[in-house]
Amino acid sequence: MDPKATRSWLIRIIRQRRLLLQAGLSKKNPMLCESICERLSRYLSANPYSGDKIYRFIARHYSDILIIIPGNDALEFNLKILNQCAQKSKTLSTSTAAPLPTQLLLALP
């Protein structure tokens, strides 16, 4: 996935979670999800994260993004994209990338 499409994917994930929270359909902790959505939106609006910087951003906030991904039919697809971005960040710079918590994905149903 190119950086521009990755950024739009992340914005779409945040938007979906906010719509679920507003409709009252979210089965996750609403305060936690809202704070994560607010923080990620603030970061994305303040910084352009152009080029490969978006992959580092996703690797840094991997666990937060994992929490707000909606658990619908597209869960596997979204997890695949999230892992690809984290792996890309890891290959770009091993010193600045956050470690990939693969154990979290094994615990998901």
Q: Which residue range(s) make up the domain with 54?
A: 3-107
Q: Summarize pLDDT for 76-109 with one digit per residue, the tens.
A: 999 999 999 989 988 876 555 455 555 455 555 5
As for how many domains the chain has, the answer is 1
CA pair distance 56, 62, nearest whole angstrom: 10
- What is the reported pLDDT for 101? 57
- What is the reported pLDDT for 98? 53
- Other Cβ atoms closer than 10 A to 11: 14
Q: Report, as an integer, the average pLDDT of 10-16.
A: 96
Buried b (16+ CB within 10 A) or exposed e, 24-38: eebebeeeebbebbe
- What is the reported pLDDT for 97? 46
Q: Note whether 79 and 105 are within 8 A (CB).
A: yes
- What is the reported pLDDT for 99? 52
Q: Summarize pLDDT for 38-61 with one digit per residue, the tens.
A: 999 999 999 988 888 999 999 999
